[in-house]
Structure 1
Amino acid sequence: MEQGLTHEGGTFLNFRDYPFLDTRAPAFRWVDIKRLRLPGAPLADAELLAALIGHEQFRDDYAGGGVDPEGTRHGPYWLNRVTPEAYEPMDASLAAQALWAWADQYEPLPAGLATDLRREAVDAWTTTDRVHRLTGLGEDDHHDWGGVHGEFHEFVAIDRRAGRITLLVAADD
């Protein structure tokens, strides 16, 4: 059940599209951002997370297959293992620090990529009610080929003033 969430579009930032100084830095890193319009009725965070998990845009294995409306995978996890309880609420500034730590782990980001990542994700988090991070799943929850990502980071930002929920996945594969 999608609970009235409407997919508005998204942004895909492929690190290969930006020139890095150190060509040894892993190039197979990316950030996928999906934006959905909130329903008119007010819902608690757990209800919004459940609505997002139930939305077809959430059925993405992030391994090149794209959204599969009948899919059973979400990133490296079995879809049925992802629940609202698997998300940890966190301060937006801490979420931004975690995202930057992942993005800058090999070398500072090229200026264009840093600007795009700040504009598309981090700046938007400053107005959110709350950011949630997927942390409550482990290797036992991985699907049959779920280990393809070197790292997989997922954040959900709820911005009631803007009427939007944003799903951000950052990974390397």
Structure 2
Amino acid sequence: MRNELTHEGSAFINFRHYTFRDAKSPAFRWVDVKCLRLPAEPADDSGLLAALIRHEQFRDDYAGGGVVPDGPRHGPYWVKSVTPDGYASVGRQESDRILRTWANQFEEVPAGLAADLRREVFDRLATADHIYRLGELGDEAMHDWGGVHGDFHEFVLIDRSAEQIILLVAADD
């Protein structure tokens, strides 16, 4: 692909910044949203997933180190183990259900957090043309300390009308 993706911005929602009834509920839970501009040249979804995997924003271990442009890790996996085939198409309702169940697993999220999740996560799911979910890649794909996340949910949203591809990770660590 001649024109690559361009990072436009990110959002990070840390559950610890909200007040829950049960102080244990948020634990170390968060959502990271990375928005990238689609390339000028049209590409199919598999080509867009491949471009995302090549992008430096993809090289984030989601364990506090942030993006490492030449880093070998992505979440719990070695970057080299993640391919477009590792993603499966998932419907809006299913992705919405997975993320709402995860967010509300201990108690209903407070109103401020619900508003932030609606804006950064659920509104984006509602407008995406295609949604892909990263599947389990197996033990051989996990990097040397890849088991630090309790839950790790990764979705890629392709929104052609907004000309964006969005990498959405929701996790506990």
Equivalent residues of 1:133, 1:154 under 8 A apart:
yes
Distance 2:140 2:103 in 1: 26
Equivalent residues of 2:3, 2:41 under 8 A apart:
no
Task: Give 1:68-107 correspondences, 5 Å limit.
Answer: 68-107=68-107
Structure 1 stretches of at least 4 aligned residues deviating more than 6 Å after TM superposition:
none
The alpha-carbon deviation at position 33 of structure 1 amounts to: 0.2
State TM-score, norm by structure 1.
Answer: 0.96
Percent of residue pairs identical: 61
Partner residue in 1 for 2:126: 126
Distance 1:33 1:109 in 2: 18
Equivalent residues of 2:86, 2:134 under 8 A apart:
yes
Task: Give 1:23-172 correspondences, 5 Å limit.
Answer: 23-172=23-172
The alpha-carbon deviation at position 126 of structure 1 amounts to: 1.4
* Deviation readout 1:95-122 (Å, 9 max, x if unpaired): 1110111111111101110111011111
Which segments of 5 or more consecutive residues in structure 2 lack a partner in the other structure?
none
State TM-score, norm by structure 2.
Answer: 0.96
Q: CA RMSD in A?
A: 1.3
* Deviation readout 1:54-110 (Å, 9 max, x if unpaired): 000000000000000110000000000000000010112211110111111111101
